[in-house]
Amino acid sequence: MSNNLIRAYAAMQAGEQLVPYQFDAGELQAHQVEVKVEYCGLCHSDLSVINNDWRSTSYPAVAGHEIIGSIVALGSEAKGLKIGQRVGIGWTAESCQACDPCIGGNQVLCTGENVATIVGHAGGFAEKVRAGWQWVIPLPDDLDPESAGPLLCGGITVFDPLLKHKIQATHHVGVIGIGGLGHIAIKLLKAWGCEITAFSSNPEKTEELKAMGADHVVNSRDAQAIKAQRGKFDLLLSTVNVTLNWQAYLSTLAPNGCLHFLGLTLEPVPVSVGSLIDGAKSVTGSPTGSPLALRQLLQFAARKQIAPQIELFPMSQLNDAIERLHSGQARYRVVLKADFD
Ligand SMILES: [Zn+2]
Ligand SMILES: [Zn+2]
Residues 148 and 159 in one domain: no
Is residue 79 one of the residues assigned to a domain? yes
Residues 12 and 121 in one domain: yes
Residues 40 and 67 in one domain: yes
Check which CATH number belongs to the domain holding 236 and give it: 3.40.50.720
Do you find a cis peptide bond into 138, omega within 30 degrees of 0? no
Alpha-carbon gap, residue 6 to 26, rounded angstroms: 10
pLDDT of residue 1: 42
Residues 128 and 256 in one domain: no
pLDDT tops 70 at residue 311: yes
Please give the tally of structural domains in the chain: 2
Is residue 300 one of the residues assigned to a domain? no
Residues 218 and 333 in one domain: no
Closest ligand to the CA of 92: 1
For 132-170, write each residue's pLDDT tens digit: 999 999 999 999 999 999 999 999 999 999 999 999 999
Closest ligand to the CA of 96: 2
- Map residue 185 onto helix, strand or coil: helix
Closest ligand to the CA of 290: 2
Closest ligand to the CA of 46: 1
Residues 271 and 233 in one domain: yes
Q: Find out whether 45 and 65 touch, Cβ atoms under 8 Å.
A: yes
Q: How far is the CA of 110 from the centre of ligand 2 (A)?
A: 4
How deeply is 335 buried, as exposed, middle or buried, from its count of CB atoms within 10 A (0-12, 13-18, 19+)?
Answer: buried
Alpha-carbon gap, residue 99 to 107, rounded angstroms: 9
Is residue 290 one of the residues assigned to a domain? no
Residue 112 to residues 68, 108, 109, 336, Cα–Cα distance (Å): 27, 11, 9, 32
Is residue 112 one of the residues assigned to a domain? yes
Check which CATH number belongs to the domain holding 134 and give it: 3.90.180.10
pLDDT of residue 288: 97
Is residue 187 one of the residues assigned to a domain? yes
Q: Find out whether 242 and 267 touch, Cβ atoms under 8 Å.
A: no
Q: How many Å from the N-terminal Cα to the C-terminal Cα in the chain?
A: 16
Is residue 132 one of the residues assigned to a domain? yes
Percent of the chain at pLDDT above 90?
A: 94
Mean per-residue pLDDT, 115-143 = 97
Q: How far is the CA of 4 from the centre of ligand 1 (A)?
A: 26
Alpha-carbon gap, residue 122 to 24, rounded angstroms: 11
Residues 55 and 143 in one domain: yes
Residues 132 and 173 in one domain: no
Closest ligand to the CA of 124: 1
Residues 120 and 227 in one domain: no
What protein residues have CB closer than 5 angstroms to ion ligand 1?
43, 45, 153
Counting every residue, how long is the chain? Answer: 341
Is residue 296 one of the residues assigned to a domain? no
Alpha-carbon gap, residue 29 to 132, rounded angstroms: 9
Is residue 212 one of the residues assigned to a domain? yes
Mean per-residue pLDDT, 304-328 = 96
Residues 72 and 175 in one domain: no
Mean per-residue pLDDT, 177-182 = 96
Residue spans of alpha helices (H) in the chain? 44-50, 100-103, 145-148, 154-164, 180-192, 206-212, 223-227, 246-250, 273-277, 291-304, 318-327
Q: How far is the CA of 167 from the centre of ligand 2 (A)?
A: 27
pLDDT-based confidence at residue 266 (cuts at 50, 70, 90): confident
Longest Cα–Cα distance of the chain, Å, equals 66
Residues 161 and 193 in one domain: yes
Domain span at residue 166 reads 155-285
Residues 26 and 147 in one domain: yes
For 9-54, write each residue's pLDDT tens digit: 999 999 899 999 999 999 999 999 999 999 999 999 999 999 999 8
pLDDT of residue 2: 52
* pTM for this entry: 0.96
Closest ligand to the CA of 112: 2
